[in-house]
Amino acid sequence: MKTILITGALGQIGTALTARLREKFGVDHVIATDIQRPENSTVVENGIFEYLDVTDQLAVEQLVEKYQIDTIIHLAALLSAVAEEKPQLAWELNMGGLMNALEVARIHDLKFFTPSSIGAFGPQTPKVQTPQVTLQRPTTMYGVTKVSGELLCDYYFQKFGVDTRSVRFPGLISYEALPGGGTTDYAVDIYYEALKKQAYTSFIDKGTYMDMMYMPDAVDAIIRLMEAPSENLIHRNAFNVSAMSVRPEDFEKAIQAHIPEFSLDFEVDPIRQAIAESWPNSIDTIQARKEWDFSPEYTLEKMTADMLEKLKEKSLS
């Protein structure tokens, strides 16, 4: 990777990844793009930023040519809960945008990354230590687009030789950007509310296990995968990755170690709960560890301490 175009750079992953890549490659070699341009965004203020609608293939290609891009990191997509509310838009954006980005990668011989998700699994998938290769029959539009995206990236690699790479992300937890409509967003909200109100009402029910990862580990996973030798990658689209399998009450206990008065109650959102129950409780990450040395650093306890510290600093700045 030398000069990188990031789509959806203002989302949770994009905000953190843009900052890390600018540190690693220099601000002139990381082109952040999004369909919105908010004020007071570090992504916009601290480097090159371009407006981009990924459903416009010509616009994607023009930026690739303008900045002599060699790598596309395609993050633009609707997340799970929003996609269920707007399934047609989710298909048009998640699949249409992906096809456009892959076509530009094919034409210009670019390296390519796009994230998949544990949402690509479904209720018939083994729920405990979900294998790398297994049944994928999701029951959400988000999941349908993620499975389709994995297959499409495989097709572009096998048919055209595009160097496509992907991971199936679990729920991602970050202090750098607010949640964007995902089923696992409670795991981000809970830290904000713990500091504000010493209480949180979870829209995911007690006892519901889901895989999670702290954003620094997620960003590190993307960079490690993109820098791995292509010949080492067998399951390139997409690798299971995760750092922890946790329930809402596990977050409660971890937060109470720092804020003893914190309390958790439940007001279950049936749509997001149904999505959560269709996903695995835990996934097997052995292939990512073998093929490109995936190795998350943060446990729930270490992540909680860092999240609370960073959010306190953020509120004071």
Residues annotated as catalytic (active site), given as ranges: 142
Contact 37, 105 (CB under 8 A): no
The residue among 157, 57, 138 whose CA lies nearest residue 98 is 57
Between vectors from CA 149 to CA 146 and to CA 154, what angle results, nearest 5°? Answer: 135
Residue type, 171: G
Contacts with 222 (C-beta within 8 Å, 6 or more apart), sequence order: 13, 17, 73, 113, 115, 167
The whole-angstrom separation of Cα 296 and Cα 290 is 13
